[in-house]
Structure 1
Amino acid sequence: MDKIKLSAHHMDLYFGNKQILKQINIDFLQNKVTALIGPSGCGKSTLLRSFNRMHDLSPDAKITGEIQLDSQDIYDHQLSVNEVRKRIGMVFQKANPLPKSIFDNLAYPLRIHGFPRHEIPGLVQRALEESYLWDEVKDELKKPAVKLSGGQQQRLCIARAVVLRPEVILMDEPCSALDPISTHKIEELILRLKSDYTIVIVTHNMQQAQRISDKVAFMYLGELVEYGDTEQVFHSPQQDLTKNYVTGHFG
């Protein structure tokens, strides 16, 4: 039986007096890829950012209900934000390499979390290998990361997410700014990474969701409308709203 790795229970999210997410109940299974789909502004990215406490940075954000990682509430005061973000990594829509060398982009988070200096080169190499980037950059690790191509920069950001050996990787439209070849490489990478990680990805690309995900969650106006196996959601959806969205007859 599949293990539940990450879950939300009766979760509401408000910014000030405005409710953005309404009664979200969802379980993300270990070593599976779950795609969050739905029209722009429906709450997909807001939900994703809740899972590694990005909204802690917004003073008017309020979350009720529970978000659990291995049955532990990630908003429990006994669990620090740094610990949550070490266990739940995040890759953003736009590649955001640090203004440092390729090597230091990955070494920096390791140093922050106190990894022994002698272990860092090996961990950096492992993360670059996992992200299908090592062979392309191994002879120029001192090169500024911003000199890499867009696709390489995004794979570097994925490497930076995996270098701390998280349990979950969140991806917010990681291919939206990439060409088809780079997108294909990222998709191959996601399929390979799921053997070691639980992955939740926001995507507007219905074909991509079908290619890479095991589960699909369809959201609309801050609510979770339907959640199930990818094949079921796309080919025999239970809700008319889902059917209209996945077949392109929305609105």
Structure 2
Amino acid sequence: MDAIKLRVENLNLFFGNKQILKNINIDFPKNQVTSLIGPSGCGKSTLLRSFNRMHDLSPDAKIEGKLYLEELDLYDKKNSVTNIRKRIGMVFQKPNPLPKSIYENLSYALKIHNYPKNEIPELIENALKESFLWEEVKDELKKPAVKLSGGQQQRLCIARTVVLRPEVILMDEPCSALDPISTKKIEELILKLKKDFTIIIVTHNMQQAQRISDNVAFMYLGELIEFDTCDTIFNHPKNELTQRYIGGHFG
């Protein structure tokens, strides 16, 4: 039995009067990659963003149900959003480096969280190595991050997430704006990172989901239709709707 890192119980999410997520129940195993798949607008990114409290920024968002990081109730008022986002990092669809140097992109978060100054250079080097970026940038750490290529910027954003040693990394279509070579590097990186992190990724790319996932959740119109191992979802789906989506009949 795999240890469960994140748990969702009876989650309903509304924006105003519109219900976006409908009674979602799902467990995410520790140190595994789980892909969320389904057609545009089915609630994948909304579910992903609910884990690190991104919907707190939307005044008309209303959440019912429970979300847990192990035993921590993520929406308990006692738990600070800053602490939750340190434990649950996020990488967005488009790379979003800070308008600072490569080095400062990583040191910024470490300083905010009061890491000892003398430890910061080593933590940054390790995060860049983990993100397969160190060899490419080690002599240019003062260079503006925005001068990096798209693929390098996305790996920098992943390094910026892992430098804080979160337990979970959320990825919202991290390769959709990238070329095939950069995409391959990010996929290799995801497979390597799951040793140390639990990863949940939204992807529209079925081949990508098959290459990197341990588990796959198929969503449709705000509902979780089927959740199982990658092999089961792609080769022996139990639900006809899953079968039709995997087969490319809609989406």
Aligned residue for 2:150? 150
Match of 1:27 in 2: 27
Q: Which residue of 1 aligns with 2:114?
A: 114
Residues in 1 aligned to 2:63 and 2:117: alpha-carbon distance in whole angstroms: 38
**What residue in structure 1 maps to residue 209 of structure 2?**
209
- Residue number in structure 2 paired with 1:197: 197
Post-superposition CA distance 1:57-84 (Å, at most 9, x none): 0111111100000121111112100000
Number of corresponding residues: 251
| Backbone CA RMSD of aligned residues | 0.7
> Residue 169 of structure 2 corresponds to which residue in structure 1?
169
Distance 1:125 1:24 in 2: 39
1 CA distance for matches of 2:200 and 2:65?
20
The 3-state SS of whatever aligns with 1:11 is strand
- Determine the structure 1 residue equivalent to 2:56: 56
For the residues of structure 2 that align with 1:63 and 1:122, how far apart are their CA atoms?
40
1:172 Cα offset (Å): 0.2
Q: Which residue of 1 aligns with 2:5?
A: 5
**Cα distance in 1, alignment partners of residues 217 and 247 from structure 2:** 15
Matched, 1:91 2:94: no
Hey, what's the Cα distance between the residues in 1 that align with 2:88 and 2:11?
Answer: 18
Q: Which residue of 1 aligns with 2:139?
A: 139
Q: Which runs of 4+ in 1 moved over 6 A?
A: none
Cα separation, 1, equivalents of 2:160 and 2:23: 32
* Equivalence for 1:36: 36
The AA in structure 2 aligned to 1:188 is E
Equivalent position SS for 1:248: coil
Q: TM-score normalised to the size of structure 1?
A: 0.99
User: What is the DSSP-based 3-state SS (H/G/I as helix, E as strand, rest coil) of the residue aligned with 1:98?
Assistant: coil
**Matched residue type, 2:23:** Q
- Structure 2 CA distance, aligned partners of 1:35 and 1:138? 32
Which range moved further: 110-119 or 215-224? 110-119
* Residues 103-162 of structure 1: per-residue CA shift (max 9 Å, x gap): 000000011111111111111111101000001000000000000000000000000110
For residue 250 of structure 1, report the CA deviation from its aligned partner: 2.2
State how far apart, in whole Å, the 1-side matches of 2:78 and 2:130 are: 32
User: In structure 2, what residue type is equivalent to 1:47?
Assistant: L
Gaps in structure 1 of 5+ consecutive residues: none
Unaligned runs of 5+ in 2: none
1:17 Cα deviation from its structure 2 partner: 1.0
| Residue number in structure 1 paired with 2:18 | 18
